[in-house]
Amino acid sequence: MFTKLRNKRRDRKERRKTIRDTFKREMENNLKSSATKALLENSAKIITDKTHIEHELFVKNNVKRGLRNSNGTGVVVGLTRIGEIIGYQMDSENNKIPAEGKLYYRGYSIEDLVSNCIKENRFGFEETTFLLIFGYLPSKSELNAFNKLLSSKRELPDGFARDMILTAPSNNIMNKLARSVLALYCYDENPDDISISNVLRQSIDLIGYFPALIAYAYQAKASSYDNMSLHLHKPIPELSTSENILRMIRPTGEYTEIEAKVLDLSMILHAEHGGGNNSSFTTHLVSSTGTDTYSAIAAAIGSLKGPKHGGANIAVINMMMNIKENVPDFNNRGKLDDYLVKILKKEAGDGTGLIYGMGHAIYTISDPRAKVLKSMAQKLAESKGLEDDFLLCDYIEKRIPVLKAEVTGIDKPIPANVDMYSGFVYDALNIPIAIATPLFATARLSGWCAHRLEELIAGGKLMRPAYNSVQEHLDYIPLGKRNSKVQINMSTSKMSAK
C-alpha cells in the first residue's frame, strides 16, 4: 500500500516537473521568437534609413522614375511590331492630348479581330495566338493545323501533375505556375537552345500546357488549403483553350457556349498590350541575356503576379463585393453615390481612394478592350440573370468622373478600363478569385512568347540600364572599433536600435 502511495507521489512529481520543463521550453522559444521578430523589425528600420534616397536627388540626376518621362509617357527603350497602343496625342509643346483609345495586334485593330470572331460565331484566341507569334493572319488550313498542334500539347508530360503540382501544392496559383514553368525545363530534352525554331517549339508547348497547369494548381490548392474535394479532369484536345479551362476548373466539367465564348473574348483582349507593359518588358529584359525560355516566362509570371500589374481584376471583384455589402440596395443611387464618394475620400473601401477598373496609364478617353468586352459582358449578364450587377458596373463607369471632379475639383475624362468588365465576367462565370490573375497569364503568354522571339531576332544587345550612385565614400572601420546598431539579449528578449 505504502509502495503504491510512493509511486503515485513520484508520478505526480515527475508530471509536475515535465509540465514545468515544457512550460520553460515554450517560454524560451517564445522569447527567442519575440527577440528574432524584434531583431528583424529594428533591422528593417535601419535598412530603410540607410537605403532611403531623397526625392530631390532623383530630380537632380534627371532620373526617369518608373521609366516614365515627366509628362507621364513611357521612356522609349525599344521597337516592336507585335502590339501598338494609342491612348493620346502629343501637341507641339509635348503635352498629352486626350484621344480615343486604340489597340492593334500586328497592325490589326482589336475591334476587327473580335468582331469577326463574333460574326462567324467561333473561338478566336488560338487565331490571335497565331497572329501574335507568326506575324500574320492564318488561312483556314493553317489555323486548323495550328489548332491540332496545340491540341497535341494539352496534356502535361507523364507524371508532371502528380510529381510537380499535386505533391507540392501552393496557396498562390501564380507562384505554382512559375514553379511549374521552371520545372518543365527538366522535361525538355533541349532546354537551353535559343534558336528560333527551338524557342518556337517551346512556346507552343507552353501555350498548350497552360490550361492544365492552372487548373491542376487550383485543384491542388482547393483540396489542400480550402478543404474542398479534388476534381481532376483531363483536357480534351479538340476543345478550345477557354473550353478546356472551364471544364477543368469546375467539379462537373460543365459549361455553356456563351460562357466559353465570353472567356475566349476576354483572353483575346488580354493577349497583348505592347512591349512596354511590365511583364512583356520583363520578357524582353530577361531574354536579352540569352537565357532559356522557361526562365524568361517564369520571370514574366513573377512580374504579372504583382498587384500593381496583374491583380487589378481581383481588386475590382473585391471592390464590388465591398460596395454590395455596404449598399445592399445598390439601385438606390443616392446611397450608392454617397458610398462611392467615401471611397474616393479614403473613408471606405480599402482606404486607397481608388475606384478599381477606372482610369488607365495610357488610355485617356476610352479603353478599346473595355468597350469590346462590355457588350459581351451584358449578354452574359442577361443569360445569368445578373442585369443589376452589370448595371452597377455601367453606373460606376459613367458616374465616377463626375463624383471625382466634385471631390478633387479636377474635371477630366476617366475611362473604364478592361478590368472593370473582366472582373465582372470572372465573377459571373464563378471563376475563383485565386485563378483570376493566372487566367490573365494564360492569355498574355501568347504575347510574351511573341516578344521573346522578337527580342532574340531583333534585339541582339544585353539590356543594361544605368543607376547613378548617391552613396558617399566612407573610410573602412576595423571590426573592433565598430559600434552596434542593434543590441539584443536573447535571454530577456530586450532589444533596442541605436
> Does residue 378 sit within a domain?
yes
The count of domains in the chain is: 3
CATH number of the domain encompassing residue 408: 1.10.230.10
Verify that 318 and 298 share a domain, yes or no: no
Number of Cβ within 10 Å of residue 301's Cβ equals 26
> Does residue 466 sit within a domain?
no
Full 3-state SS string of 120-185: CCCCCHHHHHHHHHHCCCCCHHHHHHHHHHHHCCCCCCCCHHHHHHHCCCCCCHHHHHHHHHHHHH
pLDDT at 3: 66
Verify that 116 and 210 share a domain, yes or no: yes
> Does residue 475 sit within a domain?
no
CATH number of the domain encompassing residue 451: 1.10.580.10
What is the torsion angle, in degrees rounded to the nearest 10, for the CA atoms of residue 442, residue 357, residue 84 and residue 177? Answer: -20
Asked whether 191 and 294 are in contact (CB, 8 A), the reply is yes
Asked whether 248 and 215 are in contact (CB, 8 A), the reply is yes
- Supply the range of the domain harboring residue 3: 1-52
As a residue count, the chain comes to: 498
Verify that 294 and 329 share a domain, yes or no: no
> Does residue 468 sit within a domain?
no
Verify that 136 and 241 share a domain, yes or no: yes
Verify that 161 and 283 share a domain, yes or no: yes
Encode the chain (498 residues) as per-residue pLDDT tens digits. Answer: 556 666 667 767 777 667 666 666 766 676 667 877 887 888 888 888 889 999 999 999 999 988 888 888 889 999 999 999 999 998 888 888 999 999 999 999 999 999 999 999 999 999 999 999 999 999 999 999 999 999 999 999 999 999 999 999 999 999 999 999 999 999 999 999 999 999 999 999 999 999 999 999 999 999 999 999 999 999 999 999 999 999 999 999 999 999 999 999 999 999 999 988 999 999 999 999 999 999 999 999 999 999 889 888 888 999 999 999 999 998 899 999 999 999 999 999 999 999 999 999 899 999 999 999 999 999 999 999 999 999 999 999 999 999 999 999 999 899 999 999 999 999 999 999 999 999 999 999 999 999 999 999 999 899 999 999 999 999 999 999 998 887 655 454 444 445
Selecting among 273, 419, 427, 451, the annotated active-site residue is: 419
Q: Report the candidate in 123, 371, 95, 103 with the shortest Cα–Cα distance to residue 262.
A: 123
> Does residue 332 sit within a domain?
yes
> Does residue 493 sit within a domain?
no
Selecting among 360, 389, 394, 427, the annotated active-site residue is: 360
In angstroms, rounded to a whole number, what is the distance separating the alpha carbons of residues 386 and 377?
10
**Ramachandran angles phi, psi of 322, nearest 5°:** -65, -40
Verify that 234 and 206 share a domain, yes or no: yes
Verify that 216 and 100 share a domain, yes or no: yes
Verify that 225 and 320 share a domain, yes or no: no
> Does residue 379 sit within a domain?
yes
Check if 233 is active-site.
no
> Does residue 141 sit within a domain?
yes
C-alpha cell at 299: 520571370
Verify that 92 and 182 share a domain, yes or no: yes
In angstroms, rounded to a whole number, what is the distance separating the alpha carbons of residues 224 and 218?
10
For the entire predicted model, the pTM comes to 0.89
Verify that 188 and 295 share a domain, yes or no: yes
Verify that 102 and 45 share a domain, yes or no: no
- Picking from 11, 29, 52, the residue at the C-terminal end of a domain is 52
Check if 273 is active-site.
no
Residues pairing with 369 in the sheet:
none
pLDDT at 101: 95
Verify that 150 and 9 share a domain, yes or no: no
